[in-house]
Chain A
Amino acid sequence: MRTYILYGFGILLCISGISYLAAEYVKYLSQPGKLACLMLIVGMLGFLGKYFDEIGW
């Protein structure tokens, strides 16, 4: 149970960190940079989902 709370806390920190950085710097990103970011976010959430699927969530 404690592990899951830590995972949840880590995910929240990841999302809030990305949101903060996006709000701060995304306005200066080039078009290819924005596309790469979008693909990486999709990849990151997909891999996280797959990870939780693998450990039996």
Chain B
Amino acid sequence: MRGRLFLYLALACFVALIAIFIGDGYIGIYDTTYVTAGEREQTIEADYWLQQYPAPSGFTIDYYISAQWGQRVFFRYEIDNRRFSTYSTVVQSSLWQENEKLLDLFSETKTIEPFDKAVAEWTLSTEELEPPVAGASNQYTVKINWGEVERNIVVDFYYPVEVPYR
């Protein structure tokens, strides 16, 4: 009888463990960003931001990508609603440089059904930007906002080098 008690306690621990995995680890709202620059797609999963928050005071976490000036950078942003209720939010994306907003890239209200996903897509084109000036910064920040969440992706543009073809 006493032996069985330990078995039941072990089973209770197992059930509680699974409940934590589901309740704390799975339920929630998660975002994934796909950035394609050139021929390379990079995936920024929610855990990249979650592992680094809370960031030290006055310090923001950014993700860096590089792209060639003149090429378009494609963004695909996915919000995964793993909750039992419908979630509605305004997804906004804008381009910033030196704390100054340059462009609005995307803005749309997304209503996501329970355990469903919403996708937002936009493109960053250098044609909409001022031509590069020698010595000036070639880094731009793409800010993605929804709810209280803000994601910063720094795009570092490099300039094509003339290759002496034969």
Contact = CB atoms under 8 A, between A and B. Distances in A.
Closest 8 CB pairs of A and B: A25-B25, A54-B3, A44-B13, A33-B24, A47-B10, A51-B6, A27-B47, A47-B9
Contact of A44 (B10, B21, B25, B46): B10
Contacts, number: 72
30 contacts: A14-B14, A21-B18, A21-B21, A25-B21, A25-B25, A25-B26, A27-B47, A28-B24, A28-B26, A28-B50, A29-B20, A29-B21, A29-B25, A33-B20, A33-B25, A36-B16, A37-B17, A40-B13, A40-B17, A41-B13, A43-B9, A44-B10, A44-B13, A44-B17, A47-B10, A51-B3, A51-B4, A51-B6, A54-B6, A55-B3
B80 to A, nearest CB: 11
Instruction: Bin the interface of chain B by size.
Output: 20 to 34
A22 B26 CA distance: 11
A3 interface: no
Interface residues of A, number: 25
Contacts of A25: 21-22, 25-26
B37 to A, nearest CB: 25
B2 interface: yes
B30 interface: yes
A47 B7 contact: yes
B20 to A, nearest CB: 5
Contacts of A26: 21, 25
Interface in B12-64: 13-14, 16-18, 20-22, 24-26, 28, 30, 46-47, 50-51
Contacts of A29: 20-21, 24-25
Contact of B21 (A22, A43, A50, A55): A22
A30 B6 contact: no
A50 B6 contact: yes
A41 B10 CA distance: 9
